[in-house]
Structure 1
């Protein structure tokens, strides 16, 4: 009886230790994600939308991680360019000029060219940046942001205005981040790795 009781206690202790050391995979509100102040689903965002800016160095790094996140979550991500300062507004004009003509998000190669052009380092001039931006468009037989028709300008302006409303209603103040189901914002700094971000996104996709 004593041996049986000792074995039970040892087993209970082992289970308790394992439970205490196990990884709680359920994301915590305020740590891994937060509820947005407004429901953005009326803007018809993709279920998972990356919020970014061409002027953001961290966004440029995130670009190479997006395919892995899409694979881990089995979702194709949308994109929305913020407009919360002058630099971001210029970046939005460039980005939405591409989206307007392609009817879709630019591919990885074009996105990298746009990031590289906008974030051109010290020693570069405005002329250098403009030339790099224009090349990214002309190489694909697209009109550049500097040579749009009135109709094209109106379409781009409409996209920028929508992006601005989303940013303001959602009180988006930092990028890169992800909005899930138009209701939740992922706190990227609350994760240690790509897998952690993917788990949070997958969890939020299951929430009402």
Structure 2
């Protein structure tokens, strides 16, 4: 009499184990990602866009992981610099000075130089910081933020204004993070490593 009941309980246990595995294997909303309060699709962002700041130490570490994430997701990752405080706005001016002249995202070597110049130690003098920035640009035959003409300043302002609008509409207040398809924000704190971040990105790329 008990054999059918035992079989039923065993089968139910197996189903629950499988269901549990399915849930843990799929990125969870509120843990690994969340929907943006307002979609940013109108801004023509790259399918995967990193939101960062040159002032952010964690962003500097994430920069070294970008090539691996691009490989794991088969995506070229775009970038957007936040402008949510005065120091971020200054760094955004530096970053977009490069972007507007390249008409592209700076490569990883250039980004390393920019992070290095902005995040020089407390012992660095203002003159040393300026020299590091000047060298990062002039070594690539680009005009530094200190040498922009009026036309370039207007163009730069447009870049900054767009970045600020995206930050405000998306209510982005922490970095680094990734925006996927202009609708989803990856919660990097909810991941243990680069592979898990890439897994969440790949999942979100398939979502409507």
- Residue 199 of structure 1 deviates from its aligned partner by 1.0
Provide the residue aligned with 1:43 in structure 2.
43
Gaps of 5+ in 1: none
Q: Distance in 2 between matches of 1:14 and 1:27?
A: 23
Provide the residue aligned with 2:156 in structure 1.
156
Query: TM-score scaled to structure 2, two decimals?
Result: 0.92
Q: Distance in 1 between matches of 2:84 and 2:20?
A: 42
Matches within 5 A, 1:59-78: 59-78=59-78
Gaps of 5+ in 2: none
- Residue 10 of structure 1 deviates from its aligned partner by 10
Q: Distance in 1 between matches of 2:184 and 2:9?
A: 43
Residues 1:19 and 2:8 aligned together: no
Local SS of the residue matching 2:154: helix
Q: Distance in 2 between matches of 1:178 and 1:13?
A: 39
Local SS of the residue matching 1:89: helix
CA offset digits 1:19-59 (Å, max 9, x no partner) = 37746221111111111111101011001100000000000
Local SS of the residue matching 2:146: coil
More divergent stretch after superposition (20-29 vs 31-40): 20-29
Provide the residue aligned with 2:28 in structure 1.
28
Provide the residue aligned with 1:102 in structure 2.
102
Q: Distance in 2 between matches of 1:28 and 1:10?
A: 28
CA offset digits 1:112-158 (Å, max 9, x no partner) = 01000000002101111010000000001100000011111111110
- Runs (4 or more) in structure 1 with deviation over 2 Å come to 7-24
Instruction: Count the aligned residue pairs.
Output: 207
- Residue 13 of structure 1 deviates from its aligned partner by 8.3
Residues 1:202 and 2:202 aligned together: yes
Q: Distance in 2 between matches of 1:164 and 1:114?
A: 20
Provide the residue aligned with 2:177 in structure 1.
177
Provide the residue aligned with 1:55 in structure 2.
55
- Over the residues paired in the alignment, what is the CA RMSD in angstroms? 2.1
Q: Distance in 1 between matches of 2:180 and 2:151?
A: 32
Query: TM-score scaled to structure 1, two decimals?
Result: 0.92
Provide the residue aligned with 1:135 in structure 2.
135
- Residue 198 of structure 1 deviates from its aligned partner by 0.8
Q: Distance in 2 between matches of 1:20 and 1:77?
A: 33
